[in-house]
Amino acid sequence: MQKVKRSILLETRHVTAAYGKLEVLSDVSVRFRKGRLTAVAGPNGCGKSSLLKAIMGFLPVSGGEIVLEGEPVARIGRKKLARRIAYLPQDCFCPDYMTLGELIELAGYSRYALVGGPSERDRALYRQVLETVGLSDRAGFPVNKLSGGQRQRAWIAMVLAQDTDIVLLDEPVNHLDMKYQFAVLELIRELTEIYGKTVVAVLHDLNLTTTFADDVVLMRSGKCVTSGPVAETVTTGNVERVFDLKTQIFPRDGRLVCFPERSGQAAVS
């Protein structure tokens, strides 16, 4: 059977960016394939979050360019970009009075006319996304009164309600326990499998990366060390180059399992 070739939807071309004099991205060239879940992984401070911010235009690019289907992102207006790319930052906040339903309505601002609010299509979409994340009975609840796992699903619902074909997620399972990490990532996985979205997610855990992602970008010190399909990219050599960590990597139930070696531990043959 012939493999289906996935087109490149979004790419960074030799991108360099800095906060003042501190360079956080250096000559980063990465391609994100359409309809795939790509994990961006690497040690703390390696530029993972900065890469997403640069794509969104929140971090100015001093060198190279970011291209969306052949068009430089820098030339795309903010409202037009919001119709194409949804972004969920690492930390999200909202006023104590805001309900889940009100939060979801905010997501559609880029589609609203100058005068007027959500259309009937918008409202149908909002009901659908709340059902998708399992929170259809919580629309009237204040967001800040939801549990940690429910709140994270609420933010993902807001991203879904933006109705874009590209979704950027910065550490979407940060601070969640194992049960909710898997629940949220299974939901994110469905964005590609059911809705055909292109998802880029910053993840810390390599085993979560190998479980849920199609592709991976491994970063270190503001540079892309390597990128590609998970099975080809998550290797003992690449993990050691990126994390300074010796590991054993082996297949299990159709995915790779990363097992760090303790200091002085003999390799298992």
pLDDT band at 93 (very low <50, low <70, confident <90, very high): confident
- In a 3-state reduction of DSSP, which class is residue 13? strand
Q: Which of 114-123, 126-135, 229-238 has the lowest average pLDDT?
A: 114-123
Q: Please check whether residue 268 lies inside any domain of the structure.
A: no
Ramachandran angles phi, psi of 254, nearest 5°: 85, 5
51 pLDDT more than 60: yes
154 pLDDT more than 50: yes
Nearest-angstrom CA–CA distance, 43 and 209 = 14
pLDDT band at 42 (very low <50, low <70, confident <90, very high): very high
Q: Please check whether residue 118 lies inside any domain of the structure.
A: yes
The closest alpha carbon to 100, from 67, 131, 73, 59, belongs to 131
Number of domains in the chain: 1
CATH number at residue 85: 3.40.50.300
CB 222 within 8 A of CB 205: no
| Per-residue confidence (pLDDT) for residue 269, from 0 to 100 | 38
Handedness of CA 196, 123, 180, 93 (dihedral sign): positive
Q: Give the chain's end-to-end CA distance (angstroms, integer).
A: 34
Mean pLDDT in residue range 233-250: 94
Q: Please check whether residue 106 lies inside any domain of the structure.
A: yes
113 pLDDT more than 60: no
Q: Please check whether residue 56 lies inside any domain of the structure.
A: yes
Q: Please check whether residue 267 lies inside any domain of the structure.
A: no
Q: Please check whether residue 103 lies inside any domain of the structure.
A: yes
Domain extent at residue 106:
8-260
Residue with tokens 């043959």: 269
Distance of CA 156 to the CA centre of its chain: 11
Tens-digit pLDDT profile for residues 159-202: 888 888 999 999 988 878 888 888 889 988 988 998 889 999 99
Q: Please check whether residue 175 lies inside any domain of the structure.
A: yes
Q: Please check whether residue 249 lies inside any domain of the structure.
A: yes
